[in-house]
Amino acid sequence: MIVYHLSTECYPVAKVGGLADVVGALPKYQNKIKGVDAKVVMPWYNKAFVYDHEFDVVFDGFIHQGQNMLQVQVLKEKTDVLGFELYMIKIPGLLDRDNPYGYQDESFQFLAFQHGVLHWLSSMKIRPDVLHCHDYHTGLVPFMIENCREFEFLKGVKTIGTIHNGEYQGMMSWEMVNYMPSFDSYKWGLLDWNGYINPLASMIKCSTAFTTVSQGYLEELFVSFRGLESLVRDEFSKAYGIINGIDTEVWDPETDPMLNFNFNSKNAIQQKKKNKEKLCKEYGLKPELPLFAFIGRFATEKGADLLPDVVWNSIKQSYGALNIMILGSGNSYIENKLKEYDYTYSNFALDVGYKEFLSHQIYASADFLLMPSRVEPCGLNQMYSMRYGTVPIVRYTGGLRDTVEDISTGGAGINFTYSGVDDIVHAMNRALAIYNQKGVMENLIHANMSFDFAWEKSAEKYITLYNK
Ligand code: ADP
Ligand code: GLC
């Protein structure tokens, strides 16, 4: 079975968040299953990976976007170093950028990607069994292969659309239709949602089946999906919730080269302590106190707007008996407020930016990881932290609900219900009580490390779905 994953991110080539981790791991694990050949197609980026590896140009052609003629090159990484064939689509001016997102003309960028991929596949007469589209950036592919004359060759190819984050739908005005490959205009309804072209809505309508990255999130979409609630209800018969796994080869505390002190479940207590001491020393924190950490985008969906008040309240309520460390970037108001507190409180450390190395060190060093997400389709941080013996404190939502069970019901994490400062601080107080009971804390570290979030099971579930 030949599967092409289409995505704007793939670790370690280009990563903004969890989408990259999933697309960098899922195909690798699928390829371990007999008879499966999974590949990844992504835009070309001006990133270290492309200069550190050799590529062959396997296709060179042109597409039209409105009046503009765009050159499309497809480059294949020579050695399949990632455990799958990696193809990068290069289009000068649109798909040769530094980063996946943040450009004013992203509608043109993602249209060009989708058009470019399908043009290459149909010109070269490559007919996969499944096109697996990730998020709205590739959401128009299921529509295009069925309805655009240019891709007649691909008609009938099965498509899976995976929703990693329904908060972003890629809506664009109908003027953009002029920049799409042509189709019979009476089909417009398959693209439309409330007067806009909505790629995520179109993906739900046109894909053979669609998935969300946890069952819990799928259930939430029926009631909260930024206007698409009725659509997901109508299309429920082809919806599946499949929880993400984690790449246990990359995220292995025993071999992780980004850690200062590696560890396994036998020496976790001592080695985690050493990691923590080093990190605390670097950031001026107090290693004898518990360390709470947050890693992620400063966005309201992550509950990051609550962090400044959480820092202030928790330090005050505990009379300074804890450390908090935050790594992330995003909303500038949140960033500035946190910077102010970084200056004020010696128990608080902030590092602004995207730092892969530091994130691994924090997962290994912290005692508790905070995830106050308002929306969390799956969430990978809690699974990384658990594997590294760090107790997750999570809001009971989406994928967090599916992966973290509260200690009061036999689990190894802490849940809270509302994304409000009081609830979060209350959860932290529960954590403090645990931290002070040495035996309980040590058992929790071991319990967290023993969870199995490896990709194998979920990779298999996708294959079962493809077969179906
Ligand atoms: P999302 O994709 O919504 O941001 P996930 O939990 O699925 O959330 O994945 C986030 C991924 O990005 C994890 O691998 C996490 O470690 C990483 N990450 C987030 N922010 C940072 C940061 N500032 N520096 C390093 N890694 C980060
Ligand atoms: C999105 C979601 C996150 C999920 C990730 C990978 O970024 O916000 O919850 O873990 O995709 O599926």
Residue 365 structure tokens: 């060093």
**Tally of CB atoms within 10 A around 266:** 10
Pocket test for ligand 2, best of 23, 162, 213, 462 (most atoms within 8 A of CB): 213
Q: What is the mean pLDDT of residues 291-314?
A: 97
pLDDT at 266: 97
How many angstroms does the Cα of residue 267 sit away from the middle of ligand 2?
A: 31
Ligand 2 site, residue 377, Cβ cutoff 6 A: yes
How many angstroms does the Cα of residue 18 sit away from the middle of ligand 2?
A: 5
Q: What is the mean pLDDT of residues 61-77?
A: 97
Mean pLDDT of the chain: 97
- Is pTM beyond 0.85? Reply is yes
Q: What is the mean pLDDT of residues 300-316?
A: 97
Q: SS3 letters for 119-159?
A: HHHHHCCCCCCEEEEECHHHCCHHHHHHHEHHHHHHCCCEE
User: For 225-265, how does the pLDDT look when each residue is reduced to its tens digit (9 = 90+)?
Assistant: 999 999 999 999 999 999 999 999 999 999 999 999 999 99
Ligand 2 site, residue 213, Cβ cutoff 6 A: yes
CA distance 303 to 300: 5
How many angstroms does the Cα of residue 180 sit away from the middle of ligand 2?
A: 28
Locate the ligand 1 atom nearest the alpha carbon of residue 329 and give its number: 23
pLDDT at 72: 98
Residue with tokens 């009046």: 67
CB 198 within 8 A of CB 190: no
CATH 3.40.50.2000 describes domain 2-247+456-467: yes
CB 330 within 8 A of CB 299: yes
In whole angstroms, what separates CA 69 from the centre of its chain? 33
How many angstroms does the Cα of residue 217 sit away from the middle of ligand 1?
A: 18
User: For 5-47, how does the pLDDT look when each residue is reduced to its tens digit (9 = 90+)?
Assistant: 999 999 999 999 999 999 999 999 999 999 999 999 999 999 9
DSSP H or E segment with residue 400: helix 398-403
Pocket test for ligand 2, best of 5, 19, 167 (most atoms within 8 A of CB): 19
Ligand at minimal distance from the CA of 371 is: 1
Q: What is the mean pLDDT of residues 285-289?
A: 97
Residue 323 structure tokens: 């450390």
Locate the ligand 2 atom nearest the alpha carbon of residue 373 and give its number: 9
Ligand 2 site, residue 370, Cβ cutoff 6 A: no
Locate the ligand 1 atom nearest the alpha carbon of residue 22 and give its number: 7
- What value does the CA radius of gyration of the chain take, rounded to a whole number of Å? 23
Q: What is the mean pLDDT of residues 98-106?
A: 97
CB 152 within 8 A of CB 118: no
Instruction: Please give the torsion angle defined by the CA atoms of residues 229, 230, 235 and 240, in that order, rounded to the nearest 10 degrees.
Output: 20
Domain 2-247+456-467 and domain 268-452, same fold? Reply is yes
CA distance 399 to 404: 8
Pocket of ligand 1 (CB under 6 A): 17-19, 21, 295-297, 327-329, 354-356, 359, 378-381
**Tally of CB atoms within 10 A around 385:** 27
CATH 3.40.50.2000 describes domain 268-452: yes
User: For 344-355, how does the pLDDT look when each residue is reduced to its tens digit (9 = 90+)?
Assistant: 999 999 999 999
How many angstroms does the Cα of residue 379 sit away from the middle of ligand 1?
A: 8
By three-state DSSP, how is residue 273 classified?
helix
pLDDT at 410: 95
Pocket test for ligand 1, best of 354, 355, 395 (most atoms within 8 A of CB): 354
CA distance 249 to 257: 11
- The residue whose CA has the least distance to atom 11 of ligand 2 is 164
CB 127 within 8 A of CB 161: no
Length of the chain: 468
In the beta sheet, which residues pair with residue 134? 162
DSSP H or E segment with residue 114: helix 106-123
Among residues 231, 253, 249, 467, the alpha carbon closest in space to that of 365 is found at 253
* C-alpha dihedral sign at 337, 340, 342, 344: negative
How many angstroms does the Cα of residue 383 sit away from the middle of ligand 1?
A: 12
CB 331 within 8 A of CB 257: no
Letter string b/e over residues 356-367, b meaning 16 or more CB atoms within 10 A of that residue's CB? eebbbbbbbbbb
238 labeled binding residue: no
pLDDT at 159: 98
Ligand at minimal distance from the CA of 325 is: 1
> What percentage of the chain has pLDDT greater than the value 90?
100
Among residues 442, 179, 416, the alpha carbon closest in space to that of 310 is found at 416
CA distance 17 to 132: 19
Ligand 2 site, residue 378, Cβ cutoff 6 A: yes
pLDDT at 366: 98
Among residues 384, 342, 348, 391, the alpha carbon closest in space to that of 366 is found at 391
pLDDT at 226: 97
CB 138 within 8 A of CB 113: yes
Residue 302 structure tokens: 């992550």
Ligand 2 site, residue 18, Cβ cutoff 6 A: yes
Alpha helices in 124-261 (DSSP H): 141-147, 199-206, 215-221, 229-234
User: For 123-138, how does the pLDDT look when each residue is reduced to its tens digit (9 = 90+)?
Assistant: 999 999 999 999 999 9
In whole angstroms, what separates CA 348 from the centre of its chain? 27
CA distance 444 to 461: 30
How many angstroms does the Cα of residue 165 sit away from the middle of ligand 2?
A: 6
Reported as half-sphere exposure (CB side, CA atoms, 13 A), residue 158 has a value of 15
- Using the 8-state DSSP alphabet, how is residue 454 labeled? B
Ligand at minimal distance from the CA of 166 is: 2
How many angstroms does the Cα of residue 376 sit away from the middle of ligand 2?
A: 7
Domain map (residue ranges) of the chain = 2-247+456-467, 268-452
How many angstroms does the Cα of residue 320 sit away from the middle of ligand 2?
A: 33
Ligand 2 site, residue 256, Cβ cutoff 6 A: no
